[in-house]
Amino acid sequence: MAITLSPAQQAVLVQTRALDTPAQFEALLAAARPEIDQVVQEVMAPAQAIDDILIELRDLYLTVIEQSAALATVGYGQGRREAFCAAIQLLDTGHLWFGEGARTGAYRTLNVEDLVALSRPYRARLKAYGAQAFVFEPKVAALFADVNRSRTVAEEIADLRVLVNEARARQARLVTVGVTEAFLVEGEELLRTAESRDLLGILGIRHQDEAILLRNEILTYAVMLGREARAAGVNACFHEPKVRVRFEGASFRQALRRLRPKRRKQDGEVDEVDEVQPPGSCGVPVATSPTTSPTTSARSFEPAPDSVAG
């Protein structure tokens, strides 16, 4: 049976949905980074499906919006609402790009071989169109016959951008030899795909483990802001039991689990990762170390597998 969202729920879903481009992700993450570094003392891993955590966060965010006037009286104003919304967006994006989307293949990073394989048919077809349309203008025809000589993602994206722009600028001539609007749109979509999925290069992420670590850091931050909103709501609506219970219901008690560092043998080899502790168990927080990546705030442990317990 299909679930029908109310207009308010639909508005929250749109407002907190995943970002479209790495540039948007970087900007939002950069704005949140000072607070992330301040409040996230230990990065945790998901103890339940991140989709379920996102549902609970969005439901709480809806309640926060509805009770914004009451929350303002206890110091939880627009700035905190915006930070909470941004944290949900970052988590949804990280989950799509680095977690479930990467695991299922619905969303994955592109290396140069992937990108060239995607663009080769389009570039070959455009070259043929250009060769006929500009048969008496060899310099123009050569623009549509350019190849990726360095075999890098950066050059492939730059080449696609030039080809797409030139095709649009010379559309009137190309149409006479069979180029359609759908073909031009295909090239623009290919460029957008290349620009938005070159995550390793754009975000400075070196491997999948580092991507999962960043995702987990964002997850920990988002859940902490959810707990902040819950505490403010319970306080603000303490004398309104029906509203207060909605805030109290968002406990996030089973959302996170603790990560453990790898043990090192005396000869310097790394042993297997210790078993993670279940939620609620005691343990010593993992020490943090300075970041070595442009985007991530690296911690001195390896991330656990991206498992989702129901």
More confident residue, 193 or 103: 193
What is the pLDDT averaged over residues 287-295? 44
Indicate if the pLDDT at residue 40 is higher than 90.
yes
Taking the C-alpha atoms of residue 122 and residue 148, their distance in angstroms, rounded to an integer, is 14
pLDDT digits (tens, 9 = 90+) for 208-246: 788 889 999 999 999 999 999 999 999 999 999 999 999
pLDDT, tens only, 131-165: 999 999 999 999 999 888 877 777 888 899 999 99
Residue type for 256, please? L
Q: What is the pLDDT of residues 25-34, one digit of tens each?
A: 989 999 999 9
- The pLDDT tens digits for 42-86 are 999 999 999 999 999 999 999 999 999 999 999 999 999 999 999
Say whether pLDDT at 288 is over 50: no
More confident call, 36 vs 288: 36
In this structure, which amino acid lies at residue 90? L
Q: Parallel, antiparallel, or unpaired: how do β-strands 256-258 and 44-46 relate?
A: antiparallel
Q: What is the mean pLDDT of residues 173-195?
A: 90
- The DSSP call for residue 115 is H
CA 103 to each of CA 100, 208, 307: distance values in angstroms, whole numbers, following the listed order = 5, 10, 10
For the CA atoms of 29, 34, 36, 42, the dihedral, rounded to the nearest 10 degrees, stands at 130
Please tell me the number of Cα atoms within 13 Å of 160 on its side-chain side: 27
Tokens of 187: 């090239």
Task: Determine the average pLDDT of the residues in 257-276.
Answer: 56
Could you give the CA distance from residue 286 to residue 116 in angstroms, rounded to a whole number? 42
Helix (H) or strand (E) run with residue 232 in it = helix 208-236
Q: How far apart are CA 253 and CA 251, in angstroms?
A: 5
- Residue 84 token pair: 């909470």
HSE on the CB side for 149, CA within 13 Å? Answer: 2
For residues 224 and 4, what is the distance between their CA atoms, to the nearest angstrom? 29
β-strands 270-273, 262-264: how paired? antiparallel
Can you tell me the mean pLDDT for 248-257?
91
Q: Could you give the 3-state DSSP secondary structure of residue 262? A: strand
For residue 57, give the nearest of 15, 102, 97 by alpha carbon: 15
Mean pLDDT of 33-45: 95
Two tokens, residue 168: 């649009």
- CB-CB contact of 75 with 228 (8 Å): no
Q: What tokens were used for 28?
A: 């939002």
Average pLDDT along the chain:
81
